[in-house]
Amino acid sequence: MLKFSGEFNHAYIITYERKPKLYKKLIYLNLLLFVIISWLQFNLQQTILITIIYNILIYIIGGNEIIIEQMQIIKNIGIQIEKRKSNGSVSKEFINQNIIRDVVLQEGLTTFTVEIYLAIICKGMKQMILPFQYNLSTDQLMQIYYPLRQMIM
């Protein structure tokens, strides 16, 4: 789900939120674990130990999946990109407006599809910065591209 907030004249926040792929599976696994623990009639210490082990496994399996990506555009200053993972960790990256060379909509080719993504080209960097890891629709990208281009370029 794509959300827009903020005042267009000074700062603009674009948030893309999605449910983790393992979300439904985790619910079913929690229910299954509860049924097994109830059926085997473990004592409290064993139940806590099993729950801790289960949560550690879930953290290892699904902890690195990005669930929220946010781009904050601050006029005449730069862009802050924030990514939140399902394990709770947050990574932030600030791109100063002085090093931004261009903002483009780029096409990426795979064997059977053509993907369009938003990219920020910076001076002195070999790679482009992708504010959104997951593919957004062309309409959503256009809603982001024009305000971003107007405020930064």
Same domain, 112 and 56: no
Q: What is the pLDDT of residue 100?
A: 93
CATH number of the structural domain spanning residue 69: 2.30.29
Same domain, 12 and 81: yes
Q: What is the pLDDT of residue 22?
A: 60
Same domain, 96 and 121: yes
- pTM (global) more than 0.75: no
Query: Of 62, 85, 112, which one is at a domain's C-terminal end?
Result: 62
Q: How far is CA 153 from CA 16, 73, 96, 147, in A?
A: 23, 11, 12, 10
Q: What is the pLDDT of residue 24?
A: 59
Same domain, 83 and 133: yes
Same domain, 143 and 82: yes
Same domain, 113 and 140: yes
Same domain, 100 and 138: yes
User: Which phi and psi (to 5°) does residue 110 adopt?
Assistant: -115, -175
What are the pLDDT tens digits along the chain (153 aa)? 677 776 656 777 777 777 666 655 666 776 777 677 767 777 777 777 777 787 777 777 766 778 888 888 888 889 999 998 877 788 999 999 999 999 999 888 888 888 888 999 999 998 999 988 877 888 888 888 888 888 877
Q: Could you list the residue range(s) of the whole structural domain that residue 122 is in?
A: 2-20+65-152
